């Protein structure tokens, strides 16, 4: 639906013979950046970080790292079933915003061009965050260390955080199912053996 509305607005911008028609295609990206993007970009969790850490400490020996990761990508975890759609929408609207930025600059509408460039950048940042944990977990490049030790560490954090998020909402069936799939992943089990107490790990700090 968003794709259709966006396409219709772009078409109207270039087909209607009205003075302000050129701005119609910019409305949807701007609204999305102003209304939806802040929820993904502002690192504010639905549960206070101190409470998250307190819930995770009995089960994880890296509760502090998991808490920070969960807070950073809270929207992605909280809307896990639709996060891929938000990522897709933000990518489409990001490209639309950058396109109109170029159009406005070409037409010497510099203020509008600069504004839409800012909108595009905000939506780009959103596209990188709104589905980050699951996209990282699903990435073979992150898992096999193609992106270096930092990438591999994030893959481990993403996998653990998907499980840990279900610890915060134990009655949520969708989160439990998602966590169960990760728990059954043979590549994740060695990670859990190091960090999750419930798996009887013989881990050593550091």
Tokens of 205: 């700090």
Per-residue pLDDT for 139 more than 90? yes
CA angle 99, 100, 102 (to 5 degrees): 70
Residue 147: helix, strand or coil by DSSP? coil
Distance CA 35, CA 136 (A): 26
Tokens of 95: 């490209």
Question: pLDDT tens for residues 79-93?
Answer: 988 999 999 999 999
Question: pLDDT tens for residues 146-161?
Answer: 999 999 999 999 999 9
Average pLDDT, the chain: 91
Question: pLDDT tens for residues 49-87?
Answer: 999 999 999 999 999 999 999 999 999 999 988 999 999
């Amino acid at each position: 639906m968003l794709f259709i509305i966006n396409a219709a607005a772009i078409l109207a911008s270039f087909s209607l013979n009205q003075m302000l028609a050129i701005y119609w295609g910019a409305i949807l990206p701007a609204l999305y950046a102003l209304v939806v993007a802040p929820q993904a970009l502002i690192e504010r969790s639905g549960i206070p970080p101190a409470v998250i850490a307190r819930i995770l400490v009995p089960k994880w020996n890296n509760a502090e790292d998991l808490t920070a990761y969960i807070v950073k990508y809270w929207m992605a975890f909280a809307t896990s079933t639709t996060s891929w759609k938000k990522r897709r929408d933000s990518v489409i609207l990001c490209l639309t915003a950058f396109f109109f930025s170029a159009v406005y600059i070409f037409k010497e509408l510099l203020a509008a061009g600069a504004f839409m460039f800012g909108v595009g950048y905000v939506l780009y940042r959103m596209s990188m965050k709104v589905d980050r944990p699951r996209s990282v977990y699903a990435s073979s490049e992150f898992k096999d260390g193609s992106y270096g030790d930092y990438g591999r560490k994030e893959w481990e954090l993403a996998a653990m955080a998907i499980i840990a998020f279900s610890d915060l909402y134990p009655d949520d069936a969708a989160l439990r199912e998602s966590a169960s799939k990760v728990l059954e992943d043979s590549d994740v089990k060695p990670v859990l053996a190091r960090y999750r107490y419930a798996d009887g790990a013989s881990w050593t700090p550091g």
